[in-house]
A and B are shown apart, each in its own frame.
Chain A
Amino acid sequence: MTRWRLSVAAAEGARSLLAGRWLSVLLVALFSAGLAAVAITDAVQVQRLVDDERAWVAAGGRMLVATNDAGGVPAAACEDLRNHPGVLAAAAVSRLDEPVALGIAPQGAVAAVTATEGAAALLGLDGFVGGVVLPETIADTTGLPVGSHLLLAPAPSTDGLTLATPPGGGPATGQGDGSGAAQPPGAQDVGPPALLDAQPLQVVDVADLSLLGEERSSGILLPVAAAGVADACFVNTRPGHVDAAREALPAMLATSGTPAVVADRLVGGQLARDYAQEHDQRASRQAPWALAVGLGVLWLLVRWLRRGHDGLYATLGAGPTVRTVIRMTEWTLLVLLSVTLAGIAVTIASATLGLDAAVAGPHAARATIITVGVATAIAALAAAVPLRSPLDALKDR
Chain B
Amino acid sequence: MQLIADRVTYCHRGQGTALLRELSLQVRAGDSVAVIGPSGSGKSTLLGLLGGLLVPASGEVRLEQAAGDGLAKHVSWILQTVNVLADRTVQDNIALGAYADGCARTESLTRADAALDLVGLDGRGREKVRTLSGGEVQRVVIARALVSRRPVLLADEPTGQLDRATSEEVVSSLLTAAADRVLVVVTHDDTVAGRCGAVYRLHDGRLVPA
Using a CB–CB cutoff of 8 Å, the interface residues on chain A facing chain B are 1-5, 7-9, 11-12, 15-16, 19-21, 308-309, 311-318, 389-391, 394-395, 397
Residues facing A in B191-207 (CB within 8 A) are none
4 further A-B pairs in the complex, CB-CB below 8 A; given A2-B100, A394-B83? A2-B74, A315-B53, A391-B53, A397-B81
A316 and B102 contacting across the interface, CB-CB below 8 Å: no
Q: Chain A contacts of B99 at CB under 8 A?
A: 4-5, 8-9, 12, 316-318
Asked whether any CB of chain A lies closer than 8 Å to the CB of B85, the reply is yes
A2 and B101 contacting across the interface, CB-CB below 8 Å: yes
Asked whether any CB of chain A lies closer than 8 Å to the CB of B77, the reply is yes
Question: A8: nearest residue on chain B (CB-CB)?
Answer: B99
- Bound complex: CA A395 to CA B44 (Å): 10
B interface residues, tally (CB under 8 Å): 34
Q: Tell me which of B44, B74, B77, B80 contacts A315 (CB under 8 A).
A: B77
| Min CB gap A200→B, angstroms | 86
Q: Chain B contacts of A12 at CB under 8 A?
A: 99
Asked whether any CB of chain A lies closer than 8 Å to the CB of B57, the reply is no
Asked whether any CB of chain A lies closer than 8 Å to the CB of B48, the reply is yes
The verdict on A2 contacting B83 (CB below 8 Å), with A15-B92, A389-B48, A390-B53 known, is: no
- Bound complex: CA A397 to CA B86 (Å): 12
Using a CB–CB cutoff of 8 Å, the interface residues on chain B facing chain A are 44, 47-48, 51, 53-54, 68, 70, 72-74, 77, 79-85, 87-88, 92, 96-97, 99-105, 108, 144, 148
Instruction: Across the A-B interface, give the 10 residue pairs with the lowest CB-CB distance, nearest first.
Output: A1-B102, A317-B100, A19-B87, A315-B77, A316-B100, A2-B73, A312-B83, A391-B48, A19-B88, A8-B99
Q: Give 24 CB contacts A-B under 8 Å.
A: A1-B101, A2-B100, A2-B101, A3-B102, A4-B99, A4-B100, A4-B102, A5-B99, A5-B102, A8-B103, A8-B104, A11-B105, A15-B92, A19-B87, A19-B88, A308-B83, A312-B83, A312-B84, A314-B53, A317-B72, A318-B99, A389-B54, A395-B44, A397-B83
Q: Chain A contacts of B105 at CB under 8 A?
A: 8, 11
Question: A318: nearest residue on chain B (CB-CB)?
Answer: B100
Question: B54: nearest residue on chain A (CB-CB)?
Answer: A389
| Min CB gap A329→B, angstroms | 14
Q: Chain B contacts of A397 at CB under 8 A?
A: 81-83
| Min CB gap B57→A, angstroms | 15
- Bound complex: CA A312 to CA B44 (Å): 16
- Bound complex: CA A20 to CA B130 (Å): 13
- Bound complex: CA A397 to CA B144 (Å): 20
Q: Chain A contacts of B79 at CB under 8 A?
A: 315, 391, 394
| Min CB gap B75→A, angstroms | 8
B81 and A394 contacting across the interface, CB-CB below 8 Å: yes
The verdict on A20 contacting B87 (CB below 8 Å), with A4-B102, A317-B73 known, is: yes
Question: B86: nearest residue on chain A (CB-CB)?
Answer: A19
B85 and A2 contacting across the interface, CB-CB below 8 Å: no
Q: Tell me which of A2, A8, A21, A391 contacts B87 (CB under 8 A).
A: A21
Q: Tell me which of A11, A309, A389 contacts B53 (CB under 8 A).
A: A389
